[in-house]
Amino acid sequence: MAQVAYIFNQLCSLLPRDHFEYLVKKYEGNSYMKTYSCWNHFLVMLWAQLTGRESLRDIESSLRAHKDKLYRLGMGKNISRNNLSHANATREVSIYRDFAQKVMNITLSQVGTEEKELFTLSDGFNLAGLFAVDSSSVYLDLTKFNWSVPQRGRGGIKLHTLYDILREVPVLCLITGHEERDQTFMENYPYRKGGMYSIKPISKRPV
């Protein structure tokens, strides 16, 4: 009986696996690793994101229910809270950051513009692109995340996103401390010549 690939595998087949392995080799991500490779770890965390898992225990429990399918899903066999925790703490983040940027670049090159009015506006002003910059903060408990810079009695991180308005896809994502402003984040960005960038207004509060 012919076996049909799982939907998860079909989704992952769209990802540039060869580039991921190039990054793993570049950053020596699999050095001293006999099991649970960087690719295994990536697939587990992708599963967690797509299925809305909320903790390492939640990830472990959800995958344990599909234990007989894990090998075919490409996740390996050594999935536990300890392995997940250790991988999250020690794996080279540059592998996943650069891979995410690669995927965004591929998407950007393949997605067309469907919003005719915005495209007409952009074309009329001869713009190379129309982009928006925004951020979302995730607040953290300082007693558990004491590495975070305290502000108003709490810690946090901030996800900065540069969004292509015409193609409706992200161009760049960056995680910083929650004290970082969008304006600071954009100071060193390599702007596209002829592009228009929209940043939310700076709110001024009396001292």
Residues 130-149: tens digit of each pLDDT: 888 888 899 999 998 888 99
Q: What is the pLDDT of residue 114?
A: 63
Domain boundary among 91, 122, 157: 91
Q: How far is CA 64 from CA 29, 39, 58, 69, 151, in A?
A: 26, 19, 10, 10, 39
- Asked if residue 106 lies in contact with residue 170, where contact means CB atoms within 8 angstroms, the answer is no
Report the number of distinct structural domains present in the chain.
2
| Same domain, residue pair 87 and 115 | no
**Structural domain includes residue 116:** yes
Q: What is the pLDDT of residue 95?
A: 96
| Same domain, residue pair 21 and 70 | yes
Task: Supply the pTM of this predicted model.
Answer: 0.76
Q: Vertex 99, ends 127 and 163: CA angle to 5°?
A: 30
**Structural domain includes residue 106:** no
Q: What is the pLDDT of residue 123?
A: 72
- Asked if residue 104 lies in contact with residue 73, where contact means CB atoms within 8 angstroms, the answer is no
Residues of the chain with pLDDT under 70: 1-4, 112-116, 118-119, 121-122, 201-207
**Structural domain includes residue 101:** no
| Same domain, residue pair 120 and 167 | yes
**Structural domain includes residue 127:** yes
Q: What is the pLDDT of residue 20?
A: 97
| Same domain, residue pair 152 and 189 | yes
**Structural domain includes residue 99:** no
C-alpha 199, offset from chain centre: 21
Domain boundary among 41, 60, 91: 91
Spatial CB neighbours of 12, under 8 Å, sequence gap ≥ 6: 43, 46, 74
| Same domain, residue pair 11 and 84 | yes
| Same domain, residue pair 14 and 87 | yes
- What's the domain range around 60? 7-91
**Structural domain includes residue 20:** yes
| Same domain, residue pair 117 and 188 | yes
